Structures are given as structure tokens and as C-alpha cells.
Amino acid sequence: MTQMTQTLTTTPAADDLVVPFHCDRCGALAKVRVVLASGSDLVFCGHHAREYESKLRDIAVDIIDTEGEQHVTA
């Protein structure tokens, strides 16, 4: 029996949002990627990114739109 080892991966680069990621809230195509201090990330459609913007700004290290424009940096 072979044993599988776990591999940790890093958060995808902003350029990876061109690959069809889907909003973590509703499943629509993602427009915004929110990078958290832990290194994990959330992705949102434009609607939900705007709806949660103030809360996301409190917890985000970076907020990046699909064109790679950085909105928040630590």
C-alpha cells in the first residue's frame, strides 16, 4: 500500500483569475480575488465584492481585480 503525502500550495497569482474561477458566494464568474493574511484567498463576482467591500478591506492583505489592479496592500 502506498501512502500519499499532503502538499501545501500557495495562493494562485492574480493572472490566474483569467482561468474561470467562480464567486465563493453565488457561483458567478469571479471578478475580484481577496488575499488573506493566512495566504488563503477568496474570490467574488463584482456584485458580492462591492457588497462586502468594507468587511473585506478589514481582513484583506490584497484585493485584486481581474485586470491585476491592486486595491489594498499591507
Q: How confident is the model at residue 13 (pLDDT cuts 50, 70, 90)?
A: low
* pLDDT number for residue 69: 58
The CA angle 44-53-32, to the nearest 5 degrees, is 30
pLDDT digits (tens, 9 = 90+) for 18-74: 457 899 999 899 999 999 999 999 999 999 999 999 999 999 999 998 765 555 554
Q: To which H or E segment does residue 44 belong?
A: strand 41-44
